[in-house]
Each structure stands twice: as structure tokens, then as C-alpha cells.
Amino acid sequence: MGNDFYNILKTLKLKATPKRIAIMEILADEPTYLSPDEIRSRLKGRFKNIGLPTVYRNLEELADSGIIIKIIHPDRKLYYFYCHNREHHHHFVCVQCRKVEDINFCGMEEIKNEVEKNLKAHMVSHMLQVYGFCKDCLKKQTISL
């Protein structure tokens, strides 16, 4: 039965509203990251009325709960992506076609060690993201490196 978003939302103690489920379905079907407004456009095909604040609020909640991820983009806008990999990992983001791919290297141990032993600080979170051109975009030869 594929992705059981209803039960995922239950587990997260969020009401399984049709719009919330639709947002997850849309993201899970999409191989690229999407902006809140693009997500709303897709929702318009399924719902007569849909408010942009609802989209923003749900995306924030779902990202906070960890079921979707927020892409930190150089253009400083918000983008979201559904990642099936439930392990801690990071992402390679293609700045041309918006593809997102897993990076299984993190270095968290070394970072944590540096922060806690050297700086005597407490690490709350870390972010690592890699930007570039993916395999397919390189093939298309539209980029001069």
C-alpha cells in the first residue's frame, strides 16, 4: 500500500487532514524540492480552496517533525523535499534541475568532538549541504565548469 501517510501523521500526533496528507503525497511523488507556492499550485488541482498560510504552516510542522526536510537554498527561499531515507544523512542539491541526492558522509563525530572538547560548547544542531550539478545535468553539456 506504499506510503501510509495517515498513520505517519497519527504517529506524529498530527490530525490527518486531507490537505496535510495531500501535501505529503505531492512531495513524496516529486523527485525535486518544491517551494510552498508550487505545492499550493499542485493542491489547487485537488481542492477548491487552499490558503497559502495552511501550506506554510503544514510544511513547517512536517519539517519540524522530521518527516520532510527543508532545503537551505542560496536564494534564501524556502523549499521542501520528502526524503525516504530515515537515517541521519545530508544532501547534494542540483542547482540546475533541483534534484536532491543523499550524501552518506556526515562527520558528525568529528564535529561533535571539536565542539565539545575544543570549544567546550554544546551542539544543538548542524547543517551540511552540498550544491552542484548532478550527473544528468552534466550530460546535457549546458554547463561550462
Partner DNA sequence: TATCTAAATAGAAATGTTTTTTATTTAAAA
Partner DNA sequence: TTTTAAATAAAAAACATTTCTATTTAGATA
Which residues in 82-111 contact a second copy (CB under 8 A)?
Answer: 92, 94-95, 101, 103-107, 110-111
| C-alpha dihedral (41, 44, 50, 55), degrees to nearest 10 | -40
Q: Determine, following the binding rule CB under 7 A, whether residue 77 of this chain makes contact with DNA.
A: yes
Q: Determine, following the binding rule CB under 8 A, whether residue 128 of this chain makes contact with a second copy.
A: yes
Q: Determine, following the binding rule CB under 8 A, whether residue 138 of this chain makes contact with a second copy.
A: yes
Cα angle 5, 130, 101; round to 5:
40
Closer to a second copy by Cβ: residue 52 or 111: 111
List CB contacts of 143: < 8 A, sequence separation 6 or more.
Answer: 96, 133, 137
As beta bridge partners, residue 14 has none
The Cα–Cα gap between 93 and 24 comes to 20
Interface pattern 18-57 for a second copy (x via CB under 8 A): ----------------------------------------
Q: Determine, following the binding rule CB under 7 A, whether residue 80 of this chain makes contact with DNA.
A: no
Cβ proximity of 97 and 136 under 8 Å: yes
Q: Applying CB under 8 A, which part among 37-45, 58-66, 79-87, 133-141 lies near a second copy? A: 133-141
Residue ranges in contact with DNA by CB under 7 A: 9-10, 14-20, 35-37, 47, 49-54, 56-58, 60, 76-78
